[in-house]
Amino acid sequence: MKNKKKIILFGGNRLSENGPIGDLIGYFKKSGIDFFLVTDPVHLKKKTYNNKSFRETIKDIKYLSFKKINEKKVSKLIDINTYGISINSIWKFSDFLINKFSGRLYNYHAANLPEERGAANITWKILQKNFKKNTINIHKVIKEFDTGEIVASKKINLKKNILPKDYLKVIALNEKSFLINFIDKLVTNKKILLKKQKGEQYYWPRLNANKDGKINWSWNVEDITLFIKSFSHPFNGAFSFINNNKIKIYDASFVKKKKFHPFQNGLVFREDNSKIYVANNTGYIVLKKINLNSKKMLKNYIGKRFI
């Protein structure tokens, strides 16, 4: 068939999931759409569904892997019938590749635009308690991150005070059909409507829980709780230390009715079989022991201080 469309996927799956790219690969195989994957060593090692690595799930397809994208090799895959879709990719696309696609390179952004540009969108959303408006979007890739015209958008409904895993479940329920509908438009030459991004513009950087997840016990109890929740599963958890022992914390709740002196911040003042209670000058934090993890689990926490 002449002028047959081809899709190049850039990126990889999310942690512990078959999507988004795994779902698209399954659809491409079923529908006969020509595709190629460009991924990276980090995504290849990442565990997806059924505890399989991403590398294991794509062993029967054509792909290239780069820590730093090889423009010459990728450019050889691109012709006038090739479309690129970036999904969780780690690279900033160069002017050379953007121009090579000539307006046919798109990015899937699972957050609001333009107020949630950048990365780590779930963590930033929880920290800001920003659940009034929620959308997933596809936009054109241009030189500046996440600033291109929006070509597809879908509203999603979220509950307040959710954990990242809950947010991701809602995203997963909506994104497969959303992405497939857009790709079908591309390969069947249907008209794509362009919409300029409007509103206040914010950019938030990528986060690494192992570096950025350290808890500041001088914050107020609500901010500490939000911080812990925002780095929870499937991320690596917020963390603190007791006697040089790193403890990861995946969930928390707070009580404001009792307040302590700032000198008591981080001290465990009460403990029972299932919970520990941590003092703060604005109230106290309640931590379930099942939500704590460390290489050396403590037999008791009472009287010890998180730092």
171 in the same domain as 141? yes
Assigned domain for 307 exists: no
User: For residue 36, what are its two tokens?
Assistant: 């190629």
Query: What is the separation of C-alpha 96 from the centre of its chain, rounded to a whole number of angstroms?
Result: 27
- pLDDT value of residue 173: 92
- pLDDT value of residue 152: 98
> What CATH number did the domain enclosing 84 receive?
3.40.50.12230
Assigned domain for 304 exists: no
- pLDDT value of residue 49: 83
122 in the same domain as 66? yes
Q: Which amino acid is at 283?
A: G
Helix axis angle, 164-187 relative to 21-31, nearest 10°?
30
* Full residue range of the structural domain in which residue 215 is found: 209-293
DSSP string, the chain: -TT--EEEEEE-PPTT--TTHHHHHHHHHHHT-EEEEEE-HHHHHSB-GGG-BHHHHTTTS-EEE-SS--HHHHHTT--TTEEEEEES--PPPPHHHHHHHTT-EEEEE-S-TTTTEES-HHHHHHHHT--SS-EEEEEE--SSTT-SPEEEEEE----SS--HHHHHHHHHHHHHHHHHHHHHHHHTT-----B---S---EE----HHHH-B--TTS-HHHHHHHHHHT-TTS--EEEEETTEEEEE---EEE-SS---GGGTTBEEEE-SSEEEEEETTEEEEEEGGGEE-SS--S--TT-B--
- pLDDT value of residue 1: 45
191 in the same domain as 262? no
Tell me the pLDDT of the chain (307 aa) as tens digits: 456 899 999 999 998 898 999 999 999 999 999 999 999 999 999 998 888 999 999 999 999 999 999 999 999 999 999 999 999 999 999 999 999 999 999 999 999 999 999 999 999 999 999 888 899 999 999 999 999 999 999 999 888 778 999 999 999 999 999 999 999 999 999 999 999 999 999 999 999 999 999 999 999 999 999 999 999 999 999 999 999 999 999 999 999 989 999 999 999 999 999 999 999 999 999 999 999 999 988 989 999 999 9
69 contact partners, CB below 8 Å, separation of at least 6: 38, 91, 93, 97
Closest CA to 232 of 117, 90, 122: 122
Q: How many structural domains does the chain have?
A: 2
Assigned domain for 152 exists: yes
**Which of 204, 220, 249 corresponds to the end of one domain?**
204
Assigned domain for 166 exists: yes
**Which of 204, 233, 268 corresponds to the end of one domain?**
204
| Cα distance between residue 139 and residue 204, in whole Å | 17
Assigned domain for 98 exists: yes
Closest CA to 36 of 71, 1, 69, 78: 78
> What CATH number did the domain enclosing 275 receive?
3.10.25.10
**Which of 150, 170, 204 corresponds to the end of one domain?**
204
- Residue 42, CA distances (Å) to 60, 88, 138, 235 in order: 19, 11, 23, 15
